[in-house]
């Protein structure tokens, strides 16, 4: 991930200044004079891992985001905060919470899943108000259960509430992706699970980061880091052999060394691609076997075509199964011998994991138990 550009950094600084003006204690209020919103102390739900005090401090980013040459994560955070703040800031906080009030808020999991976005939450809190103190009792990638209190933030009450929804929006989406990824990755073994480019616009890096946290691997980040010849390329080029010939010529001319994947839809296309590789020096690294998983009327799947393709390739190239990949089918697909299984559903239609951030933890848990969400 590259550093922010000067323009993006300036924009982020302007947004941060606007947010701080509505959420931080005024300069005339000393820290010793700040009020603290005090609620009855309540024990945290017992975490599945050791307490924060008992275990070594985690690394700053346990699972780092994918490296992208142009993606500016700070600018994405700034945009999310800016769309919330608008041109007035948080008028609800301005109306109800004095600048000198401090509070403590607790993160509560409202369903079972894999937590993700903790490192990103730290970035958001820091961008809103560097004086906020955040403590976590779980790490990115850990399993959490319904009702678990897995972190807390304390400091200026306004700052906490300004950051709350942006933090939760990112964490809930990322945790949903990580939860689905872990389930699919466990079922797919020995194959590896991949996402696709079917990510939310503007959140490509965030979505793919969540896949890594969930135990999956990243497919290409964009159009720049892999040559991927799909059906439309093949149709325009006049066939799979012509397309592959053009790719090898282009890479040699430009002196580029990037992975090359070609989508095949039939066993004939697989044979044509293998014949080309036998007769030519090629940059081909992976063969996609698209829609070779056939759904059956009884809800099962027929993977015989996929198995035949894997047998033809015989380990000469990596293989990737794509199409008709669900939680119900991924285990059977993984048993065919493919190297990878890609699923757009990991990111394009994932269900967010329900998480809350509450100042009155006791009341939040009482309501959660009443609604079966704690």
The residues annotated with a catalytic role in the active site are: 165, 198, 230, 263, 290
Alpha helices in the chain (DSSP H): 6-23, 73-85, 91-96, 118-128, 157-188, 204-213, 231-237, 240-254, 267-279, 304-313, 330-334, 345-348, 361-370
Q: Do 148 and 114 touch, CB atoms closer than 8 A? A: no
Q: Do 197 and 219 touch, CB atoms closer than 8 A? A: yes
Q: Do 22 and 344 touch, CB atoms closer than 8 A? A: no
Whole-number Cα distances in Å, 189 to 53, 107, 185, 307, 340: 35, 33, 6, 16, 9
Six-digit token string for 70: 């142009």
Q: What are phi and psi of 294, to 5 degrees?
A: -105, 120
3-state secondary structure of 60: coil
3-state secondary structure of 248: helix
Angstrom distance (rounded) from CA 172 to CA 162: 17
- The number of beta carbons lying within 10 Å of the beta carbon of residue 256 is 11
3-state secondary structure of 81: helix
């Amino acid at each position: 991930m590259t550093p922010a550009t000067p323009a993006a950094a300036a924009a982020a600084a302007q947004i941060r200044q606007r947010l701080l003006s509505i959420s931080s204690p005024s300069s005339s209020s000393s820290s010793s004079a700040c009020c603290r919103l005090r609620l009855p102390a309540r024990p945290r739900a017992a975490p599945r891992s050791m307490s924060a005090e008992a275990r070594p401090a985690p690394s700053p980013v346990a699972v780092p985001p994918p490296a992208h040459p142009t993606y500016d994560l700070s600018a994405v955070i700034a945009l999310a905060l800016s769309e919330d703040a608008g041109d007035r800031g948080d008028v609800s906080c301005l109306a109800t919470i004095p600048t000198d009030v401090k509070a403590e808020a607790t993160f509560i999991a409202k369903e079972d899943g894999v937590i993700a976005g903790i490192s990103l939450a730290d970035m958001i809190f820091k961008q809103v108000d560097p004086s906020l103190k955040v403590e976590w009792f779980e790490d990115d990638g850990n399993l959490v259960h319904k009702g678990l209190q897995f972190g807390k933030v304390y400091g200026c009450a306004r700052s906490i509430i300004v950051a709350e929804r942006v933090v939760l929006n990112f964490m809930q989406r990322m945790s949903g992706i990580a939860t689905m990824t872990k389930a699919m990755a466990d079922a797919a073994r020995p194959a590896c699970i991949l996402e696709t480019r079917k990510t939310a616009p503007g959140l490509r890096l965030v979505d793919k980061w969540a896949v890594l946290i969930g135990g999956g691997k990243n497919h290409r980040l964009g159009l720049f880091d892999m040559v991927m010849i799909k059906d439309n390329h093949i149709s325009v080029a006049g066939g799979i052999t012509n397309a592959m010939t053009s790719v090898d010529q282009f890479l040699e001319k430009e002196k580029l060394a990037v992975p090359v994947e070609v989508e095949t839809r039939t066993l004939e296309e697989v044979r044509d691609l293998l014949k080309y590789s036998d007769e030519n020096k090629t940059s081909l690294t992976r063969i996609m076997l698209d829609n070779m998983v056939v759904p059956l009327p009884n809800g099962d799947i027929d993977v015989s075509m996929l198995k035949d393709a894997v047998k033809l390739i015989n380990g000469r190239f990596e293989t990737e199964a794509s199409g008709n990949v669900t939680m119900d089918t991924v285990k059977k697909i993984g048993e065919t011998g493919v190297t990878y299984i890609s699923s757009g559903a990991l990111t394009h239609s994932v269900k967010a994991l329900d998480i809350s951030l509450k100042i009155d933890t006791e009341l939040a848990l009482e309501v959660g138990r009443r609604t079966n969400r704690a």
